[in-house]
């Protein structure tokens, strides 16, 4: 059975390096790449009905932008190389959402970049990477 690599990307330089590493693993294993973009989102806000309607509209717009301007162009380029690529954009807590997607897609490995440009506690290993390592059901490959 082909291996499934789930890649969490965010547009950073580390994310682009992680994309290269994940693509190399897919090529070597004749596997599949699930390219994921998670937009941080908290369901816990107190808003009026009008604000909730606007929030929903913005949420849908953000997902559309993530797909058309970020995920689909990368998937098209990798697909042109013969790689099996699927894309998904979701809102949520990045680590929790990537862990859930890994289960949903039955991923063998999660690949994620480590930006390390966040506050002191995450300088060595990024906050999302740290959380993901702790909650993932499968191995997590963190690319510097």
- Two structure tokens written together for 97: 């959402």
* 117 CB-side CA count, 13 A: 7
**Which pTM does this prediction carry?**
0.86
* Positive/negative CA dihedral, 29, 75, 94, 14: positive
The hierarchical CATH code for the domain 4-143 is: 3.40.50.620
Among the ranges given (1-5, 32-36, 53-57, 132-136), the one the predictor scored with the smallest mean pLDDT? 53-57
Say if residue 94's pLDDT is above 50: yes
Going by their DSSP bridges, the two strands 84-91 and 140-143 should be labelled as unpaired
Cα 15 off chain centre by:
9
Q: Classify residue 124 by its DSSP letter.
A: S
**Token representation of residue 115:** 């930006």
Q: Quickly state the pLDDT bin for 45 (edges 50, 70, 90).
A: low
- 3-state secondary structure at position 34: strand
């Amino acid at each position: 059975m082909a291996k499934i690599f789930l890649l969490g990307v965010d547009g950073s330089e580390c994310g682009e390096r992680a994309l290269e590493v994940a693509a190399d693993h897919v090529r070597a294993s004749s596997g599949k790449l699930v390219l994921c973009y998670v937009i941080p989102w908290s369901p816990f806000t107190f808003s009026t009905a009008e604000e909730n309607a606007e929030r929903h509209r913005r949420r849908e717009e953000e997902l559309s932008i993530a797909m058309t301007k970020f995920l689909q162009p990368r998937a098209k380029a990798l697909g042109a190389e013969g790689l099996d690529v699927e894309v998904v954009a979701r809102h949520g807590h990045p680590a929790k959402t990537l862990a859930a997607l890994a289960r949903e897609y039955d991923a063998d490995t999660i690949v994620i970049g480590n930006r390390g440009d966040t506050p002191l506690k995450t300088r060595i290993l990024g906050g999302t990477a740290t959380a993901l390592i702790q909650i993932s059901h499968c191995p997590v490959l963190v690319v510097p």
